[in-house]
Structure 1
Amino acid sequence: MPIDPTLPYDDNNIFAKILRGEIPSKTVYDDEWAYAFEDINPQAETHTLVIPKGRYVSWDDFSATASADEIAGFVRAVGIVAREKGLVEPGYRLMANIGRNGHQEVPHLHVHIFGGQKLGPMIAPEFAKRG
């Protein structure tokens, strides 16, 4: 069920448990600022999640309250993962779902990296035609 990104951070969310080592994950990248792991229900040939190590509910929360070092470290981690996965050429997609309308399901900021195949249009054709 989508979440409200204005709610306080929930220390019992699945990504917080992964960061604490309470739930196993297949590590792709790990540094001071970010942790990346393979999605357990991949939606593309390559589907990796990147999460900041700080307690941030959403992109809004992160961009408003994280330090410059945290922001830079997280953004760099996303780029490193994409390069290490060989996705820069031929291309990939980043997605961060925020809030109920964005269908955010876990109240911890996370970015999906999709790649390894042609991904198709970003928006369904019936919406793309709206002017």
Structure 2
Amino acid sequence: MDCIFCKIVNGIIKSDIVYEDDKVVAFKDINPVAPVHVLIVPKKHIESAMDLNGEDFNIIGHIFSVAKKLSKDLGIDKDGFRIVNNCGRAGGQTVMHIHFHLLGGRDMQWPPG
């Protein structure tokens, strides 16, 4: 598979991993748009939110649980943070492996762009 996130999950490409368990890997974004910018990626390859099926919905809940833990670990829980999932090309998804951006450490603007 030629998926960059699968390569990170499998240790083929090194990344600055901040969290890992049996379901997900979280690592620092190489092009951060905030002082804290972490990607949370399921180990199972799922292309986008449109490809989720019944057995995948538990992983989404787990991702939000990990985001909550990381927000505390990274010190952004008190002031607030943003969790973003881009879906499809027009939605801004550039890597076709579902992932969630955990952003914090600055005031977020709306609309996001």
Q: Which residue of 2 aligns with 1:5?
A: none
The answer to whether residue 109 in structure 2 is matched with residue 120 in structure 1 is: yes
Letter in 2 for 1:21: G
What SS class does the counterpart of residue 68 from structure 2 fall into?
A: helix
- Give the Å deviation of 1:66: 3.2
Matched, 1:34 2:24: yes
Aligned to 2:96: 107
| Residue matched to 1:14 | 4
State which structure, 1 or 2, has the greater radius of gyration over its C-alpha atoms.
1
> Where do 1:79-98 residues align within 5 Å?
79-98=68-87
Structure 1 alignment gaps of length 5 or more: 1-10, 125-131
Tell me which stretches of 4 or more aligned residues in structure 1 moved more than 6 Å: none
If asked which structure has higher relative contact order (CA below 8 Å, sep 6+), I would say 1
**How many residue pairs get matched?**
113
Structure 2: segments with no counterpart, 5+ residues = none
Provide the C-alpha distance between the structure 1 equivalents of 2:112 and 2:40, rounded to a whole number of angstroms.
23
**Which residue in 2 is equivalent to 1:78?**
67
What residue is the counterpart of 2:44 in the other structure? 54
Where 2:75 maps in the other structure, the secondary structure is coil
| Structure-1 separation of matches of 2:111 and 2:55 | 29
CA apart distance, 1:68: 5.2
- TM-score, structure 2 as length reference: 0.89
Q: Which residue of 1 aligns with 2:15?
A: 25
The one-letter amino acid of 2:43's match is K
* Percent of pairs with identical residues: 34
